Amino acid sequence: MNEITETRLFRDSDFYLVPLCLLMMFIFMYIKRRKYNGLQMQRYFIPALVWRLVFVFFYAVIVQYYYGAGDTLMYYRGVTDMYHAVSDDWSHLADIFLVEKMEPSNPIYTYFMYDGHSVTHYYMENAGTFAVCKFALPFSLLFGNSYVCISFCLSLFSFAGCWRIYKMFCEMFPRLQWKFALSILFLPSILFWGGSLLKDSICMGSLGFALYAAYQIFFTKRKVFVSLIILLACCTLLLYIKPYILLCLLPAFILWMFLGFRKRIADSGVRRLATLFLFAGALVGGVLLLGKLTQTELASQYSTERIVETAQGLQDEYSKLEESTGSGYSVGPIGDSFASLILLFPLGVITTFFRPFLFEVRNPLMLISALEAFAFLCLIYMAFRKIGFRRFFKTVFSSPVLVFCFVFAFVFAGIVGVTTANFGSLARYKIPCLPFFLMMVFIVMDQSGKFSPSVVFGRRLF
């Protein structure tokens, strides 16, 4: 067996590569910033990016000197092996980008097998892991395989996707630009986990690009051809890396489209008749589309026949982390039927949005997550107390975009809350649904007329 050597995230070359990378990024971003001259949202553009880059550096320090291990190290080893292979022979780019995953017959397989870590080649045989490394390789080649520069570039992609979500909601609800910025641009969980060399960075960026592209195609009718290309590319990325995000997003967006088209019909009789046909069409189309996706090898574990088995396997896998990290939790064992999974769903939702509780904190990083979850709990308490539980959900279900937020956020939260079983992993996996939940709450609070659009927590919390 090969001797496992230390993976260093900080190198001497970073002293000149990192400033070069930052200079290029900020020149590019200042040019992009001009598009928003005279708009309130412009004030958040550069600060949001700066905070992301600060958190990228903070995350790298934590991984290198506190944890000493993590998924990001494994991805960096894979990217490093690809970097060496391409540096030796540029024709190896075809051996990387023209395959879904690494096979023993691939000419560069030995780069992963004999890189001094003995397990990298096994990880590269997974299509999702291999896709992350492929996505990061161009940035590695551009900046001399600097981990910090690669992470900065992925953070920029994640920021660009989040900015599109922010921009989309600001177009629909311009009064809430500050609260939307807090929800998607400055939320601590997204800043910490939504950057760096991780699956989550690519997924957050892809989610934002895909959603905004679909919004332009089906609602605003702008840049349809370009948006279609972006939508297909980003959905493909999600399918390879985290297919369950795409499987949660598609039904929610189809429902948004259905309700949006229904709402445009002025005549009540025609609207009732159209509702039947639109609903049937949306339901059949959604089922067929999801069925087609789950027939692929990449998402087959999420098919109706295997979803319970997949959930049980994920819960067992993450529960094993409790022994080593002490951050495990349980919402109850998943039985052998789909009904048992549904029964645990509400507990999964509560766990995702409102846990860990403060008394469950076991380490400093859990404290940050717990404080954020406590803020979510205080916010929803304020909303229910002043608006009322019934009126709150009546407002949600009266708006197609709020229904979209509700369905995506709650379905996603229930899935990850039930299956993860470890607070450390949950803090990372739940970030796609947090901004939609938070923006939904802010919109309902604003439409009630009982809350200021510029104040989140007043002097008197209760």
Profile the chain (462 residues) by mean pLDDT over runs of 10 residues: 58 92 92 87 92 93 83 92 93 91 90 83 89 95 95 96 96 93 94 91 96 94 93 93 89 86 66 59 55 49 49 56 59 62 82 89 85 93 92 92 93 85 85 96 92 70 40
Q: Residue 328: beta bridge partners?
A: 422
Q: What is the pLDDT of residue 430?
A: 92
Residues with Cβ within 8 Å of 150's Cβ and at least 6 positions away in sequence, in order, are 76, 79, 136, 139, 140, 143, 197
Give 359-369 pLDDT, tens digit per residue: 888 888 888 88
Q: What is the domain extent for residue 442?
A: 311-462
Q: Is residue 83 part of a domain?
A: yes
Indicate if the alpha-carbon torsion angle 110, 79, 97, 289 is positive or negative.
Answer: positive
Last residue of a domain, one of 159, 193, 227: 193
Q: Does residue 320 sit within a domain?
A: yes
Query: What is the number of domains present in the chain?
Result: 2
User: Which two tokens mark 107?
Assistant: 């000419």
Classified as helix, coil or strand, 257 is: helix
- What is residue 325's predicted lDDT score, i.e. its pLDDT? 53
- Helix, strand and coil percent figures for the chain, each rounded to 5: 75, 0, 25
Q: What is the pLDDT of residue 3?
A: 39
Asked whether residue 119 is domain-assigned, the answer is yes
Residues 68/69/73/77 CA torsion (nearest 10 deg)? 100
In this prediction, residue 338 carries a pLDDT of 60
**Domain end among 193, 210, 243:** 193
The pair phi, psi for residue 421, each rounded to 5°, is: 65, 15
pLDDT at 179: 93
Q: Do 187 and 318 have their domain in common?
A: no
User: Residue 30 falls within a domain, yes or no?
Assistant: yes
Q: Do 24 and 171 have their domain in common?
A: yes
Q: What pLDDT, on the 0 to 100 scale, is given for residue 282?
A: 56
* Cα distances (angstroms) measured from residue 177 to each of 43, 45, 237, 428: 10, 12, 29, 25
Q: What is the pLDDT of residue 314?
A: 57
- Cis amide prior to 356 (ω within 30 degrees): yes
Inter-residue contact 204 to 194 (CB < 8 Å): yes
Residues in a beta bridge with 422: 328
170 and 32 in a common domain: yes
174/41 same-domain check: yes
Residue 166 in any domain: the answer is yes
Residues 162 and 19 in one domain: yes
Helix (H, G, I), strand (E, B) or coil at 328: strand
Q: Give the E-state strand segments of 84-234 in sequence order.
A: none
Domain's final residue, options 153, 177, 193 = 193
Residue 331 lies in a domain: yes
Cα Rg of the chain, angstroms: 23
- Report how far residue 408's alpha carbon sits from residue 398's, in angstroms, rounded to the nearest whole number: 16
Instruction: Flag whether 445 is in a domain.
Output: yes
Burial readout 338-354 (b: 16 or more C-beta within 10 A, e: otherwise): eebbeebbebbbebbbb
For 184-223, give the DSSP string: HTS-HHHHHHSSSSSHHHHHHHHHHHHHHHHHIIIII--S
Question: What is the helix (H) or strand (E) element at residue 73, kind and residue range?
Answer: helix 71-88
Tens-digit pLDDT profile for residues 289-348: 545 544 555 544 444 444 555 555 555 555 555 545 556 777 766 655 566 667 778 888
CA pair distance 311, 337, nearest whole angstrom: 11
What's the one-letter identity of residue 117?
H
Place of tokens 């404080």: 371
- Return the axis-axis angle of helices 14-33 and 45-62, rounded to nearest 10°: 160
Distance between CA atoms of 406 and 387, rounded to whole angstroms? 17
In a domain, 158, yes or no: yes
The predicted pLDDT at position 461 comes to 42
Position 348 scores a pLDDT of: 85
